[in-house]
Amino acid sequence: MIQYKIPFGISALTYQEVLQGAKDQKEFDTLNQYLSTQHIYYPSQESYEQAARIFFQCRKSGVTIRSTIDALIATTAIEYRLILLAKDKDFDNMAKVVSDLSLE
């Protein structure tokens, strides 16, 4: 990604999720130190409505999304025109319904 000058960063929500997963204080501090050096993408006010729309569209299409946060992360990626790097079935399922969502 760096050699192709593709912007890299982390959503504010993913930042929180990563820190929540720390097994102890040392890991929390190490993760926080690293993540604080990355570009953080914040959802806009409109992101929340769009995330709800994505969640609704998926549900209407028979696609179950387990986390409303995942819909907001996807919306943030769409708004910033980013490729979302994820190993998560929810994002794979969302991408079947939401054509603007680019996954890798």
pLDDT tens-digit profile of 51-88? 999 999 999 999 999 999 999 999 999 999 999 999 88
In a domain, residue 2? The reply is no
Residue 104: band (very low, low, confident or very high) from pLDDT cuts 50, 70, 90: confident
DSSP state of 44: P
In a domain, residue 50? The reply is yes
Region 19-34 average pLDDT: 96
In a domain, residue 64? The reply is yes
Domain range enclosing 83: 9-103
In a domain, residue 55? The reply is yes
Can you give 48-84 as a three-state secondary structure string? HHHHHHHHHHHHHCCCCCCCHHHHHHHHHHHHCCCEE
Q: pTM for the complete prediction?
A: 0.85
Work out how many domains the chain is built from and give that number: 1
Q: Which residue has the tokens 């926080």?
A: 32
Q: Domain of 61: which CATH number?
A: 3.40.50.1010
In a domain, residue 1? The reply is no
pLDDT tens-digit profile of 39-49? 999 999 999 99
